[in-house]
């Protein structure tokens, strides 16, 4: 009798999904099997390497909890998150580019007034972030919601910092009639993605660093428009050319302009030097 070949195994698994009632699920599962089996075949995957991968996935599940999402870190660090985002978000010319959500987003940030500070405690140099939310044909969008979060000068997001208040450096802002928005943040700093787990061991073994350049996260939601998930990157930051999660897009770089304590436009509650950054956000219609 003929011996079973690797090709026979792949064909049998693909065929097993023939009766899947959901056409899209059938397509996804068959494609996954074909590509996964092709990877194993082309790389000559050994039993020991397969066991190492299983252990890494097991540890990924064990380290993941409500404050840490190691599976998203895998997706981010392998560029899959950015690829899926690019495939899902073809945008018209002029619309603000999207980028990854990241593992530290927490829904339900507090609603804050125009220009209100997000910092519940000192967290770095004050940064006045302002601009307008516009449609891709230049019309202002009133009543758009900006869901904002960032890290502080300790390089941590509130969700990572057990000593920080839950709403520290988080907030939701609403645009005014002319589409304008403003909030008082802090100048973000570069930080490392969590590197004490399976993803960190992969980065170390492959001579990659875990650093992300300085940025502020923003999700913009408005009725009749596509939701935008994006970053405001500090154009002077380190690691812009080697972001650990491949999320930097040149169109998202912004200058954090230094301003003096004597500047008449100094925001309320700011005593010393501060920074100002302007970033218009352009949404595509549904």
Secondary element (H or E) of residue 73: helix 70-77
**At 117, is the pLDDT very low, low, confident or very high (cuts 50, 70, 90)?**
very high
In this model, does residue 66 exceed pLDDT 90?
no
**Residue written as token pair 């304590």:** 261
- pLDDT at res. 238: 98
Residue 111's φ and ψ, nearest 5 degrees, are -70, 130
- pLDDT at res. 68: 84
- pLDDT at res. 61: 97
- pLDDT at res. 104: 87
For 107-118, what is the mean pLDDT? 96
**At 247, is the pLDDT very low, low, confident or very high (cuts 50, 70, 90)?**
very high
Measured CA distances, 188 to 62, 177, 232, 284 (Å): 30, 29, 10, 27
- pLDDT at res. 23: 98
Could you give the CA distance from residue 152 to residue 144 in angstroms, rounded to a whole number?
Answer: 25
- pLDDT at res. 146: 98
162-198 residue pLDDT tens: 888 999 999 999 999 999 999 999 999 999 999 999 9
**At 207, is the pLDDT very low, low, confident or very high (cuts 50, 70, 90)?**
very high
**C-alpha count within 13 angstroms, C-beta hemisphere, residue 166:** 6
In this model, does residue 52 exceed pLDDT 90?
yes
Could you give the CA distance from residue 258 to residue 185 in angstroms, rounded to a whole number?
Answer: 14
In this model, does residue 1 exceed pLDDT 80?
no
For 119-140, what is the mean pLDDT? 95
- pLDDT at res. 131: 98
**At 269, is the pLDDT very low, low, confident or very high (cuts 50, 70, 90)?**
confident
Q: Bridge partners of 278?
A: 130
Measured CA distances, 6 to 10, 37, 40, 41, 195 (Å): 6, 9, 10, 8, 36
Among 34-38, 99-103, 234-238, 275-279, where is mean pLDDT lowest?
99-103
Of 133, 81, 91, nearest to 243 by C-alpha is 81
Q: What is the CATH number that goes with domain 80-283?
A: 2.60.130.10
- pLDDT at res. 159: 87
- pLDDT at res. 162: 84
In this model, does residue 161 exceed pLDDT 90?
no
* DSSP per-residue codes, 1-26: -PPPPHHHHHHHHHHHTTT-S-HHHH
Could you give the CA distance from residue 163 to residue 184 in angstroms, rounded to a whole number?
Answer: 22
The residues spanned by each domain of the chain are 1-45, 80-283
Tally of CB atoms within 10 A around 75: 19
Token couple for 283: 């949404």
Could you give the CA distance from residue 113 to residue 119 in angstroms, rounded to a whole number?
Answer: 13
- pLDDT at res. 89: 86
- pLDDT at res. 282: 98
3-state percent breakdown (helix, strand, coil) of the chain, nearest 5: 30, 25, 50
Of 232, 208, 240, nearest to 281 by C-alpha is 232
**At 228, is the pLDDT very low, low, confident or very high (cuts 50, 70, 90)?**
very high
């Amino acid at each position: 009798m003929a011996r079973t070949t690797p090709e026979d195994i792949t064909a049998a698994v693909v065929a097993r999904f023939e009766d899947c009632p959901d056409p899209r699920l059938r397509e996804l599962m068959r494609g996954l099997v074909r590509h996964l089996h092709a990877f194993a075949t082309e790389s000559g995957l050994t039993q020991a390497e397969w066991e190492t991968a299983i252990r890494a996935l097991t540890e990924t599940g064990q380290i993941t909890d409500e404050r840490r999402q190691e599976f998203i870190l895998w997706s981010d660090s392998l560029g899959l998150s950015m690829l899926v985002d690019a495939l899902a978000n073809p945008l018209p010319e002029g619309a603000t580019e999207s980028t990854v959500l990241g593992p530290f987003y927490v829904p339900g940030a507090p609603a804050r007034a125009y220009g209100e500070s997000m910092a519940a405690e000192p967290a770095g140099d004050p940064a006045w972030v302002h601009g307008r939310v516009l449609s891709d044909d230049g019309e202002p969008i009133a009543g758009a919601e900006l869901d904002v979060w960032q890290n502080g000068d300790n390089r941590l997001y509130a969700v990572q910092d057990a000593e920080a208040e839950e709403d520290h450096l988080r907030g939701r802002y609403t645009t005014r009639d002319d589409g304008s928005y403003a909030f008082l943040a802090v100048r973000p700093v570069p930080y490392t993605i969590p590197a004490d787990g399976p993803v960190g061991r992969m980065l170390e073994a492959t001579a990659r660093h875990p650093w992300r350049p300085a940025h502020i996260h923003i999700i913009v939601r408005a009725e009749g428009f596509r939701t935008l998930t994006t970053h405001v990157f500090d154009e002077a930051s380190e690691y812009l050319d080697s972001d650990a999660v491949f999320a930097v897009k040149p169109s998202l770089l912004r200058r954090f302009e230094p301003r003096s304590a004597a500047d008449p436009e100094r925001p309320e509650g700011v005593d010393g030097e501060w920074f100002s950054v302007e970033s218009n956000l352009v949404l595509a219609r549904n």
